[in-house]
């Protein structure tokens, strides 16, 4: 069975995805998931080829197995193509038979926002009012929708983007305000969703109680956050080993990851209250498997 992006869109909702991702992150931190490090190849290292990455992400959990292949080409923007594209294959664990192959672009978009929504729910106070977003692309949009599900009280939404017109456009579409980077960074919750390779967010702009949800800079030499952000915060990740291996913000600032979000959600690890926290997301195959399984189950129940 091949499912297109339109098929995936018809089945996947944040209402279903966010609780499923929460459970998946708890299962991951309880060692119930078999997931090796992703394999990441540089695609753009030959003459005449664009700058890009090609990653392969296998995982086994519960009654299924999955593998996602995903590409990230920052320059695709100028070609009118998506910067991230992916395919997910889902297999039955008991027999190895393929259950479905599906387009993974929307899955990547939605599961990433769902992970951040779980982090916001688990790590953010119930009284957070302001959200500053750095970036105005696909992830900025998906996060706005997912965050609304867990913190509907986030009404003061401030958007900064490298290209000011993009921030203005997203702000106009969503009832937010386009602001300076300093104003966005002073919010209760600060979301970084850019393709920047060097730090854009400075620690001196943050409130002492800020929750920073850092989604971009997925690569060992890429950064969105400066050393002050990292060194003055309690650091949470989906997986300690993955963040310490794959996040330039973690590696290059020299900090250690203090906790996994799944362990905090399960109550087996505590996160501090009223202190600055950084949730550094790098993305995991279990998140793609979880979304793909929901799509497949929903599709299978319709054909009965």
CB of residue 258 vs ligand NDP: minimum separation in angstroms?
Answer: 18
Q: Which residue is nearest to ligand NDP (CB)?
A: 137
Q: Which residues of 227-261 are buried (b: 16+ CB within 10 A; e: fewer)?
A: bbbbebbbbbbbbbebbbebbbbbbbbebebbbbb
When the beta carbons of 216 and 262 are compared against ligand NDP, the nearer one is 216
Helix, strand, coil distribution of the chain in percent, nearest 5: 40, 25, 35
Q: Which stretch binds ligand NDP (CB under 6 A): 33-41, 86-94, 144-152, 190-198?
A: 190-198
Within a 10 A sphere around the Cβ of 49, how many other Cβ atoms? 11
Q: What are the distances in angstroms from CA 257 to CA 26, 240, 242, 271?
A: 17, 6, 10, 12
SS3 198: coil
Contact pick of 35, 71, 108, 233 for ligand NDP (by CB under 6 A): 108
Contact pick of 194, 233, 247, 253 for ligand NDP (by CB under 6 A): 194
When the beta carbons of 136 and 253 are compared against ligand NDP, the nearer one is 136
Q: Which of residues 223-242 bind ligand NDP (CB under 6 A)?
A: none
**Residue 136 interacts with ligand NDP (CB under 6 A)?**
yes
The residue written with tokens 């931190």 in the block is 29
d(CA 32, CA 294): 18
CB of residue 290 vs ligand NDP: minimum separation in angstroms?
Answer: 13
Q: Which of residues 4-33 bind ligand NDP (CB under 6 A)?
A: none
**Residue 35 interacts with ligand NDP (CB under 6 A)?**
no
User: Helices then strands (H, E): number in the chain?
Assistant: 12, 15
CB of residue 103 vs ligand NDP: minimum separation in angstroms?
Answer: 15
When the beta carbons of 135 and 262 are compared against ligand NDP, the nearer one is 135
The tokens for 115 are: 């992970």
- The footprint of ligand NDP (CB under 6 A) covers 72, 77, 83-84, 108, 112, 135-139, 161-163, 166, 193-196, 200, 215-216, 218, 281-283
């Amino acid at each position: 069975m091949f499912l297109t992006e339109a098929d995936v869109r018809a089945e996947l909702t944040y209402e279903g995805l966010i609780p499923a991702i929460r459970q998946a992150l708890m299962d991951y931190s309880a060692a119930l998931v078999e997931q090796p490090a992703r394999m990441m190849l540089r695609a753009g290292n030959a003459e005449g080829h664009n700058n890009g990455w090609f990653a392969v992400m296998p995982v086994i959990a519960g009654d299924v197995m999955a593998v996602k292949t995903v590409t990230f080409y920052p320059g695709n923007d100028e070609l009118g193509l998506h910067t991230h594209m992916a395919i997910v294959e889902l297999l039955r664990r008991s027999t190895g038979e393929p259950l479905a192959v599906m387009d993974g672009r929307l899955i990547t978009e939605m599961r990433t926002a769902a992970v951040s929504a779980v982090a916001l729910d688990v790590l953010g106070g119930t009284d957070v009012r302001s959200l500053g977003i750095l970036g105005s692309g696909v992830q900025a949009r998906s996060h706005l929708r997912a965050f609304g599900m867990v913190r509907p009280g986030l009404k003061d939404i401030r958007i900064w983007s490298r290209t000011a017109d993009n921030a203005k456009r997203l702000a106009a579409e969503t009832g937010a305000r386009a602001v300076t980077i300093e104003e966005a960074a002073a919010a209760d919750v600060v979301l970084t969703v850019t393709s920047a390779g060097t730090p854009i967010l400075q620690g001196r702009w943050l409130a002492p109680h800020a929750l920073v949800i850092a989604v971009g800079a997925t690569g060992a030499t890429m950064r969105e956050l400066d050393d002050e952000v990292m060194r003055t915060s309690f650091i949470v990740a989906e997986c300690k080993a993955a963040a310490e291996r794959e996040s330039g913000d973690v590696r290059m600032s020299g900090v250690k990851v203090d906790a996994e979000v799944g362990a905090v959600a399960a109550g087996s690890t505590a996160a501090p209250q009223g202190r600055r926290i950084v949730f550094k997301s790098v993305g995991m195959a279990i998140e793609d498997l979880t979304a793909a399984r929901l799509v497949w189950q929903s599709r299978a129940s319709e054909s009965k």
